[in-house]
Amino acid sequence: MNWTEIDEHISRVTGEKFHSSQRRSVSGGCINQGYAVSDRQLTYFVKLNQASLVGMFEAEALGLQQMFDTATIRVPKPLCWGTAGNSSYIVLEWLEMGGGNPKSWFEMGRKLAAMHQVGAQQCCAPTTSQGFGWEINNTIGSTPQINTWTADWGEFYIKHRLGYQFQLARRRGGSFPQQEKLLAIIPELLADHQVSPSLVHGDLWGGNAGCTASGEPVIFDPATYFGDREVDIAMTELFGGFPAAFYQGYNEVFPLDAGYETRKTLYNLYHILNHFNLFGGGYASQANRMIEQILR
């Protein structure tokens, strides 16, 4: 790995000479290599992957910057991204993470609610913000996530979320007998739910949220787009759930709408299908059970 190119890129964007005299391996998430790089004064977080995936890092940087610009909830500020030899990279602000406490999680709920109150018209040029979607496609894990602007939320969710995942799943040999019945009923399921586009994290499970050593809540590794805010809350409940204080804080600022408990399964189906497409195994059976639950 040619670290000189990354050091020089950091130097250019910060305006200060940086030479990474210390590098240690840290977690980079499920699909990347992660490093803490330091010149003994400043430390940055660098994630690496193969050069062909530089677009994934570009989208991550744009998503983090958009969330950062809302001045609501803490995210690691992106510095730069690019390719160096056979690798792609992204450089982020280094944050010392800690444990957090109920107060920290309460504040996380409040701050996420504030971010969800930011809509597409506040973040994007009027000529490009046309309802639900985002300025570019990005990834959910390593799976492409299609963000074509769509005026209607139900149409967006059918075509660019569930429909796309079902398409990928069929290629992997997945069988979902009630797929078409489910997709056909979604407009009815969402008919009484008034949705305004909210800036969402998009992949908000426990592994992508935490607190700094000082207790400040942080979210990271996003799959950003403008969608129904409930997709974020639903995912926080998917793999073990966040502490109760998080939901108390969220509902204090931006109470969830009636019917959320029903829509939650519909929204989490997207992530279970994606897990099948990434990992296979029993996720297809779990997805079929969720479909049956929605159709009851």
Q: Which residues are catalytic?
A: 203
Answer with the one of 69, 93, 117 that is the final residue of a domain. Answer: 93
Shared-domain flag, residues 53 and 145: no
Shared-domain flag, residues 259 and 194: yes
Q: What is the mean pLDDT of residues 128-150?
A: 92
- Examine the pLDDT at 124 and tell me if it is beyond 90: no
Q: Into how many domains does the chain fold? A: 2
Which has the closest alpha carbon to 199: 135, 145, 118?
118
Q: How far is Cα 88 from Cα 51, in angstroms, rounded to an integer?
A: 4
Answer with the one of 34, 62, 93 that is the final residue of a domain. Answer: 93
Q: Given this model, what pLDDT does residue 213 score?
A: 94
Q: Given this model, what pLDDT does residue 129 score?
A: 58
In a domain, 1, yes or no: no
Shared-domain flag, residues 68 and 156: no
Shared-domain flag, residues 116 and 259: yes
Range of the domain at 150: 97-295
- What is the CATH number for 127? 3.90.1200.10
In a domain, 36, yes or no: yes
pLDDT band at 273 (very low <50, low <70, confident <90, very high): very high
| Angle between helix 244-253 and helix 102-116 axes, rounded to 10 deg | 40
- What is the CATH number for 56? 3.30.200.20
pTM comes to 0.94
Is residue 239 a contact partner of residue 206, using CB atoms and an 8 Å limit?
yes
Is residue 40 a contact partner of residue 30, using CB atoms and an 8 Å limit?
no
Shared-domain flag, residues 156 and 171: yes
**81: buried, middle or exposed (CB in 10 Å: 19+, 13-18, 0-12)?**
buried
Answer with the one of 93, 112, 141 that is the final residue of a domain. Answer: 93
Over the stretch 71-115, which tens digit does the pLDDT of each residue have?
A: 999 999 999 999 999 999 999 999 999 978 999 999 999 999 999
- The encoded tokens of residue 127 equal 């000529």
Shared-domain flag, residues 74 and 203: no
Q: How far is Cα 136 from Cα 226, in angstroms, rounded to an integer?
A: 11
In a domain, 13, yes or no: no
Shared-domain flag, residues 83 and 153: no
Is residue 92 a contact partner of residue 234, using CB atoms and an 8 Å limit?
no
Q: How far is Cα 51 from Cα 189, in angstroms, rounded to an integer?
A: 42
In a domain, 156, yes or no: yes
Shared-domain flag, residues 119 and 231: yes
